[in-house]
Structure 1
Amino acid sequence: MKTVYCVTTLLLFHRTWTSSSNRSREDSWLKSLFVRKVDPRKDAHSNLLAKKETSNLYKLQFHNVKPECLEAYNKICQEVLPKIHEDKHYPCTLVGTWNTWYGEQDQAVHLWRYEGGYPALTEVMSKLRENKEFLEFRKARSDMLLSRKNQLLLEFSFWNEPVPRSGPNIYELRSYQLRPGTMIEWGNYWARAIRFRQDGNEAVGGFFSQIGQLYMVHHLWAYRDLQTREDIRNAAWHKHGWEELVYYTVPLIQEMESRIMIPLKTSPLQ
Structure 2
Amino acid sequence: MATVSAWKLLTSSKVCRCVKSDLFPRALQGKRSYSTKSDEPKPEESGFKEEPDSDKTGWLSKFLSRKIEPTKESHSRLLSEKDIIYELQTHNVKPSKMDPYIQKYAEYVKAISTRGDVKKELVGSWIVGVGDLDQCLHLWKYPGGYSSVDESAKTLRSDPEYVQLKRERTPYLRSRRCQYLLHFSFWPPITPRQGHNLYEIRSYTLRPGSMIEWGNNWARGINFRRSNEAPFAGFFSQVGVLYQVHHIWLYSSLLSRKETREVAWQQPGWDRCVSHTVPLIKHMESRILLPTPFSPTQ
Same fold per superposition (TM over 0.5): yes
What displacement does 1:31 show? 3.7
Answer yes or no: is the 8 Å Cα contact 1:57–1:152 preserved in 2. yes
Other-structure match for 1:61: 89
Q: Please give the per-residue CA displacement for 1:25-45, whole angstroms capped at 9, x wherever unaligned.
A: xx779942xx127xx531211
Q: Does 1:142 align with 2:174?
A: no
Q: Does 1:103 align with 2:135?
A: no
Q: Does 1:85 align with 2:117?
A: no
Change (3 A) 1:236 1:83: same
Other-structure match for 1:185: 213
Q: Please give the per-residue CA displacement for 1:70-96, whole angstroms capped at 9, x wherever unaligned.
A: 111011111221331354332211000
In 2: Cα distance, 1:222 partner to 1:86 partner: 28
Q: Please give the per-residue CA displacement for 1:195-225, whole angstroms capped at 9, x wherever unaligned.
A: 1111211101100000100000000111101
- Structure 1's unaligned 5+ residue stretches are 1-23
Change (3 A) 1:257 1:163: same
Q: 1:36 aligns with which of 65, 68, 78?
A: 68
Highest CA radius of gyration, 1 or 2?
2
Other-structure match for 2:145: 117
Answer yes or no: is the 8 Å Cα contact 1:82–1:94 preserved in 2. no
In 2: Cα distance, 1:147 partner to 1:89 partner: 27
In 1: Cα distance, 2:99 partner to 2:77 partner: 41
**What SS class does the counterpart of residue 168 from structure 2 fall into?**
helix
In 2: Cα distance, 1:194 partner to 1:30 partner: 19
Q: Let me know the Cα RMSD of the aligned residues.
A: 1.9
In 1: Cα distance, 2:114 partner to 2:221 partner: 35
**What SS class does the counterpart of residue 121 from structure 2 fall into?**
strand
Report the TM-score when normalising by structure 1: 0.84
**What SS class does the counterpart of residue 228 from structure 2 fall into?**
coil
Answer yes or no: is the 8 Å Cα contact 1:178–1:255 preserved in 2. yes
In 2: Cα distance, 1:183 partner to 1:86 partner: 38
Other-structure match for 1:198: 226
Change (3 A) 1:86 1:253: farther
What displacement does 1:138 show? 1.1
Q: Does 1:258 align with 2:290?
A: no
Higher relative contact order (CA 8 A, sep 6+): 1
> Where does structure 1 differ by over 4 angstroms across 4 or more consecutive aligned residues?
27-30
Q: 1:49 aligns with which of 71, 74, 79?
A: 79
Q: Please give the per-residue CA displacement for 1:218-264, whole angstroms capped at 9, x wherever unaligned.
A: 00111101110111011100001101111111000000010101000
- Structure 2's unaligned 5+ residue stretches are 1-57
Change (3 A) 1:82 1:134: same
Other-structure match for 1:158: 186
Q: Please give the per-residue CA displacement for 1:161-210, whole angstroms capped at 9, x wherever unaligned.
A: 22211121101010000011100000000000001111211101100000
Other-structure match for 1:4: none
Change (3 A) 1:137 1:239: same
**What SS class does the counterpart of residue 167 from structure 1 fall into?**
coil
What displacement does 1:134 show? 1.7
Q: What is the total number of aligned residue pairs between the two structures?
A: 240
Q: 1:75 aligns with which of 73, 87, 103?
A: 103
Q: Does 156-165 or 202-211 show the bigger shift? A: 156-165
In 2: Cα distance, 1:121 partner to 1:268 partner: 20
Q: 1:229 aligns with which of 238, 257, 261?
A: 257
Q: Does 1:167 align with 2:199?
A: no
In 1: Cα distance, 2:186 partner to 2:221 partner: 10
In 2: Cα distance, 1:87 partner to 1:160 partner: 30
Change (3 A) 1:173 1:121: same
